[in-house]
Amino acid sequence: MTKRVLFTEKAPKAIGPYSQAIHTGSMIYTAGQVGLDPATMELVSGGIEEQTRQVLTNLTNVLEAAGSSMSHVVKTTVFLKDMNDFAKMNTIYAEVFNENPPARTTIAVAGLPKGALVEIECVALA
């Protein structure tokens, strides 16, 4: 089985030694995305809703560059800086995953890169 590194300019460049995503076999594994604007590499302004929208846009762009889509996502992991933001994040998340949503785990964490409020990674079918 081969491993192919995926990259798109439509999502933030890696800020460490990792790839935006890896395609192997029939699966795509994304790195966690935070609410960075790929053009500026800065967090989008606003709060949890705006950051969640940007995270989901970034993931959409990574998956599309891999020839997949959000409808092919089978599992996500959501990392929240504050679990009190769960309901707001969940509302935005449901806009993207409104039919046959993937399995999901949500974890509260002490901190995220660049002071982000939310980070999401996913596993999708190629």
Residue 29 confidence (pLDDT)? 98
**φ/ψ (deg, to 5) at 108:** -85, 135
Whether the per-residue pLDDT at 1 is higher than 90: the answer is no
pLDDT digits (tens, 9 = 90+) for 97-106: 999 999 999 9
Cα dihedral 49/50/55/56 (nearest 10)? 70
Burial of 94 (0-12, 13-18, 19+ CB in 10 A): exposed
Predicted TM-score (pTM) of this structure: 0.97
Degrees, nearest 5: CA angle 4-24-60: 80
Whether the per-residue pLDDT at 3 is higher than 90: the answer is yes
Element (H or E) spanning 79, and its range?
strand 73-80
Element (H or E) spanning 119, and its range?
strand 118-125
List the chain domain ranges.
3-125
Fold entry, domain 3-125: 60s Ribosomal Protein L30; Chain: A; (3.30.1330)
pLDDT digits (tens, 9 = 90+) for 31-71: 999 999 999 999 999 999 999 999 999 999 999 999 999 99
